[in-house]
Amino acid sequence: MVFVADIDMPETELDTTPQSQEAEAALLGVMLYDNEVYHRISHIVQAQHFYNPIHVRIFDAMRKLIMAGKLADAIVLKNRFSQDSTLVDIGGVEYLALLLDNAPPTATGTDYAKLIYDLSTRRELVRLGKDIIEDASNPDSDTDAASQIEDAEVKLFSLAETGQTNRGPVSFSDAIASSIEMAAAAFQRDGTLSGVSTGLVDLDRQLGGLQRSDLIILAGRPSMGKTSLATNIAFNIASKFRETNGETTDGGRVGFFSLEMSNEQLATRLLAQESRVPSTAIRRGDINRAQFDFLTDAASQIEQYPLHIDDKGGISIQELSARARRQKRLCGMDVMVVDYLQLLSCNKSGRNGNRVQEVTNITMGLKALAKELNVPVLALAQLSRQVEQREDKRPQLSDLRESGSIEQDADVVMFAYREEYYHERIKPDELSLEFEEWNTRMAQIAGKAELIIGKQRHGPIGVVPLRFIPHLTKFEDWTE
């Protein structure tokens, strides 16, 4: 390459800043020669990864033309930049012609794109390092070291994921493109789902799947089956995981953060669900040879699924966020499950025993994490005891324990409810007149559960019927 576009920058900075304007010019030339190259490199490099501001504008102009199905050549670009004095400064349309004349073979486009992205990431890393040093060295800073580490980790994760430490405003055209991609995903699934399938047909129909960046709250009183339903959903998603060219095409990789149960207890539940051997029998070892064979077969199948369990308890929302970022970076993560919300703490400064404010900070942190990782976060939550004091024990939004911010921050709020659990506890004497009536009702509701959708930001509320199998701690689609 025999030319480099001049930019108004000190020579010393050009010598030390990771950049290659020759590579940028080469890639632009390849794209001018063959617009189809853009579709092969668009997942690698974007306009913000270029160093020369003129190259940034040329690339962005070509992107818009190509995505609109139009030709992006030197003549069209000339008209686009006819009033642009900066392009005139570097030679005007002659510079575009020079890019085309010096274009390398089209097969090298991907290599140049990777180099440009790598150099952009290095520049961001240098900038981030300088910011960290400046913040840590500032004697007047009011931010403690733990918060500085958390902030640096957030920026490092963003850099690893997107090549940028700070994501700026998104243009409306980019937002529209993302919306179209979501609609296309639903269309390719026969118009049923735009999100990740839970494996439960009626629930998917109501929610359209679990949507990226959504905070989904699954709440209920103890023994309603919150953890069982969450593990069912996590298992269903992980078992359907498929990817093509590094992109998830079905199911997903699941990060399960269990603050209450150990990974062995969760594994036992999953084994019971897959093998259909009762979990109580597995724990006691009260199984026969055939059941043991079912267990080993189920175990060999399950261990292949991308379901990662983190069972460290007693952590803060800040530590959970750090562990989630690390898991996504190392293992990948398409869905995140947290069991359960009230077991998290908040170690931010100013904590003064006000649990309501603390839960508010936790729910805000979970919603921010869902957006940052761009995954649905399914968080379990306990309900207050006031449910037990009503005749109709179906939960409602006002029963959410300790903070109204759970309802406010969540995109979806669901309640697990099993009338059978409460009805069992009012069993009359078998010789009494009331027993026949009780027994008739028990037969009607045996195994039936309800998932009450009390809030859905993007759709209707309603009730999803499910079947609960107690000895397997498993939920399935309801059938009469």
Beta bridge partners of 257: 310, 338
Of 118, 138, 167, the one marking the end of a domain is 118
Q: Is residue 412 part of a domain?
A: yes
Beta bridge partners of 465: 450
Arithmetic mean of pLDDT, 235-260: 86
pLDDT for 131-182, tens place per residue?
A: 888 888 887 777 777 777 777 777 777 776 665 545 555 554 555 555 555 5
Q: How confident is the model at residue 352 (pLDDT cuts 50, 70, 90)?
A: low
In terms of domains, do 224 and 346 share one? yes
Q: How confident is the model at residue 412 (pLDDT cuts 50, 70, 90)?
A: very high
| 218 pLDDT higher than 80 | yes
In terms of domains, do 78 and 202 share one? no
In terms of domains, do 299 and 389 share one? yes
Q: Is residue 325 part of a domain?
A: yes
- Write the CB contacts of 275 (distance below 8 Å, at least 6 apart in sequence): 291, 294, 295, 297, 298
Q: Is residue 70 part of a domain?
A: yes
pLDDT for 142-155, tens place per residue?
A: 777 777 777 777 77
Q: Is residue 134 part of a domain?
A: no
Q: Is residue 106 part of a domain?
A: yes
| 466 pLDDT higher than 90 | yes
pTM of the predicted model as reported, rounded to 2 decimal places: 0.66
In terms of domains, do 76 and 202 share one? no
Q: Is residue 56 part of a domain?
A: yes
| 14 pLDDT higher than 50 | no
Q: Identify the pLDDT of residue 27.
A: 92
Give me the percent of the chain exceeding a pLDDT of 70.
Answer: 85
Of 118, 147, 169, the one marking the end of a domain is 118
Beta bridge partners of 452: 415, 463
Residue 95 domain boundaries: 11-118
CATH of residue 54: 1.10.860.10
| 184 pLDDT higher than 70 | no
In terms of domains, do 383 and 246 share one? yes
Of 93, 118, 143, the one marking the end of a domain is 118
In terms of domains, do 97 and 204 share one? no
Number of domains in the chain: 2
In terms of domains, do 317 and 412 share one? yes
pLDDT for 99-133, tens place per residue?
A: 888 888 888 888 999 999 999 888 888 888 888 88
Q: Is residue 420 part of a domain?
A: yes
| 230 pLDDT higher than 70 | yes
In terms of domains, do 230 and 88 share one? no
Q: How confident is the model at residue 15 (pLDDT cuts 50, 70, 90)?
A: low
Q: Is residue 153 part of a domain?
A: no
CATH of residue 199: 3.40.50.300
Three-state secondary structure of the chain: CCCCCCCCCCHHHHHHCCCCHHHHHHHHHHHHHCCCHHHHHCCCCCHHHCCCHHHHHHHHHHHHHHHCCCCCCHHHHHHHCCCCHHHHHCCCHHHHHHHHHCCCCHHHHHHHHHHHHHHHHHHHHHHHHHHHHHHHHCCCCCCCHHHHHHHHHHHHHHHHHHCCCCCCCCCHHHHHHHHHHHHHHHHHCCCCCCCECCCCHHHHHHHCCECCCCEEEEEECCCCCHHHHHHHHHHHHHHCCEEECCEEEECCCEEEEECCCCHHHHHHHHHHHHHCCCHHHHHHCCCCHHHHHHHHHHHHHHCCCCEEEECCCCCEHHHHHHHHHHHHHHHCCCEEEEECHHHCECCCCCCCCCHHHHHHHHHHHHHHHHHHHCCCEEEEEEECHHHHHCCCCCCCHHHECCCCHHHHHCCEEEEEECHHHHHHCCCCCCCCCHHHHHHHHHHHHCCEEEEEEEEECCCCCEEEEEEEEHHHCEEEECCC
| 36 pLDDT higher than 90 | no
